[in-house]
């Protein structure tokens, strides 16, 4: 059985920073999931008005950038919907429990906070291959 941390994966974290070996910093577990969420929400997805930021996968990301320079409280609800849509589609290692928004009308700034639970076992679509040293093969003759 693979460990919980192995199910979450390991890779380069965002934002890209150098580590002590002058290589890009890597991490695993909860840190890599947080990094992936930042990557998803920070990448512009294909919409009615844009082609998407990633040429080979234009549907990857979120539509949050469509809300830039928009006014009103509707931005809060649209942002909440775009966040839920993107994370549910692209990050199967978590289940979202709450998306909170705070709106500062003087600054015209909306801040979102996503609360989620990490999965405790492997699920279909996880995209993480958890390998262990224990190999068991059943052969029927």
Considering the domain boundaries, does residue 108 fall inside one? yes
pLDDT at 3: 66
Residues 6+ apart with CB under 8 A from 32: 8, 9, 10, 11, 13
pLDDT at 82: 94
pLDDT at 87: 94
Considering the domain boundaries, does residue 80 fall inside one? yes
In percent, the amount of the chain with pLDDT more than 70 equals 79
Q: Where in the sequence is the domain holding 78, given as residue range(s)?
A: 4-118
CATH number at residue 113: 3.10.450
Task: Report, as an integer, the average pLDDT of 49-58.
Answer: 92
- Residue 127: closest CA among 30, 1, 10, 3: 10
Considering the domain boundaries, does residue 130 fall inside one? no
Looking at the 3D structure of the chain, how many domains does it have?
1
Write down the pTM of the prediction.
Answer: 0.77
Cα diameter, the chain: 74
């Amino acid at each position: 059985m693979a460990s919980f941390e192995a199910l979450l994966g390991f890779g380069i974290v965002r934002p890209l920073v150098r580590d002590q070996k002058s290589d890009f910093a890597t991490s695993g577990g909860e840190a890599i999931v947080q990094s992936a969420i930042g990557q998803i929400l920070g990448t512009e997805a294909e919409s009615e008005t844009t082609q998407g930021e990633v040429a080979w996968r234009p549907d990857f990301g979120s539509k949050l950038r469509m809300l830039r320079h928009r006014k009103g409280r509707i931005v809060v609800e649209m942002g909440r919907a775009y966040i839920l849509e993107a994370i549910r589609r692209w990050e199967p290692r978590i289940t979202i429990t709450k998306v909170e928004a705070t709106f500062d009308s003087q600054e015209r700034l909306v801040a979102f906070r996503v609360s989620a639970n990490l999965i405790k076992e492997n699920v279909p679509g996880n995209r993480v291959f958890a390998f262990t040293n224990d190999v068991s093969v059943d052969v029927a003759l």
